[in-house]
């Protein structure tokens, strides 16, 4: 390349962290402290797919997976448990599931990942879960109290934001469950992709691959090794498949009769 063809300015530019990137950084810094274990299973959800396809207005897959996993949490209490290091290391067990899921919203020209919370999905109708998810997606961002808290957290200096997150995560099990959730669910299936791994500070994180036309799917569960082992996670996945193809299928068929 001749001297005249070289760019006049070969230096890049300095970009400060946005609210979204600050929030993700705080979460990842705490997530990498968790000793994770993982299990996955390739299964077939053809009965569930057929029952869902028969409905003119089917519930979202997010609602189905969140409720099914919360139902499994009634049989496998570790899904509702969390490791708390203070004042002495112990396991806290919440009476019900508190599901968390990422919600992408536009905020001041940027795509920001907020967190939507679903209280006790195991006791909620699928329609009610969907309505709550729709609220998180359509309500003005600043009118959702939890979203406001996350925005304020993202504006704090890094050490102070990390300290506040530590209070939510480690100081009180009940506070942690109510503010952060007992488990998280997310999927990239809508984009034709799947998440291989993530650093989450919660006890368990459920994700899925895209569902193939014949109902084939891969379910992946990442858990806190201090609370559960790989075999424990594998048994929960087996029960999850049963719950989806039986319990959730029956609820969908009941919706068709209404």
Interval 178-212: pLDDT, tens = 988 999 999 988 888 888 777 788 899 999 999 99
Whether 89 shows a pLDDT value over 60: the answer reads yes
Of 258, 228, 252, give the one whose Cα is nearest residue 72: 228
Of 100, 105, 150, give the one whose Cα is nearest residue 129: 100
What is the model's pTM? 0.91
Domain 16-257 in CATH 3.40.50.300: no
* Sequence spans of domains, the chain: 16-257
Measured from the Cβ of residue 151, the count of other Cβ atoms closer than 10 Å reads 20
Q: What phi, psi does 41 have (nearest 5°)?
A: -145, 135
223 - beta bridge partners? 37, 204
pLDDT band at 11 (very low <50, low <70, confident <90, very high): confident
Q: Are 99 and 118 in contact (CB under 8 A)?
A: yes
120 - beta bridge partners? none
- Using DSSP's 3-state secondary structure scheme, residue 104 falls into strand
pLDDT band at 7 (very low <50, low <70, confident <90, very high): low
- Reported as a single tens digit per residue, the pLDDT across 18-70 is 788 888 888 888 888 899 999 999 999 999 999 999 999 999 999 999 999 99
- Reported as a single tens digit per residue, the pLDDT across 118-170 is 999 999 999 999 999 999 999 999 999 989 988 888 888 888 888 888 888 89
């Amino acid at each position: 390349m001749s001297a005249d063809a070289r760019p006049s300015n070969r230096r890049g530019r300095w970009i400060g962290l946005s609210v979204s990137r600050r929030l993700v950084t705080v979460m990842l810094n705490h997530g990498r402290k968790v000793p994770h274990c993982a299990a996955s299973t390739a299964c077939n959800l053809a009965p569930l797919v057929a029952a869902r396809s028969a409905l003119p207005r089917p519930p979202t897959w997010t609602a189905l997976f969140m409720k099914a996993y919360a139902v499994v949490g009634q049989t496998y209490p570790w899904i509702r448990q969390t490791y708390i290091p203070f004042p002495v290391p112990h396991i806290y067990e919440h009476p019900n599931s508190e599901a968390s899921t990422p919600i992408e919203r536009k905020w001041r020209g940027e795509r920001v990942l907020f967190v939507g919370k679903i209280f006790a999905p195991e006791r909620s109708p699928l329609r009610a879960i969907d309505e709550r998810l729709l609220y998180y997606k359509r309500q003005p961002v600043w009118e959702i109290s939890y979203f406001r808290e996350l925005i304020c957290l993202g504006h704090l200096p890094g050490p102070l934001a990390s300290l506040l997150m530590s209070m939510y995560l480690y100081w009180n099990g009940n506070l942690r469950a109510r503010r952060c959730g007992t488990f998280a669910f997310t999927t990239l299936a809508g984009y034709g992709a799947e998440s291989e791994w993530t650093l989450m500070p919660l006890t368990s994180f459920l994700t899925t691959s895209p569902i193939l036309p014949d109902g084939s799917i891969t379910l992946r569960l990442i858990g806190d090794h201090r609370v559960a082992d790989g075999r424990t996670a594998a048994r929960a996945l087996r029960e999850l498949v049963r719950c989806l193809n039986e319990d959730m299928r029956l609820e969908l068929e009941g919706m068709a009769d209404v």
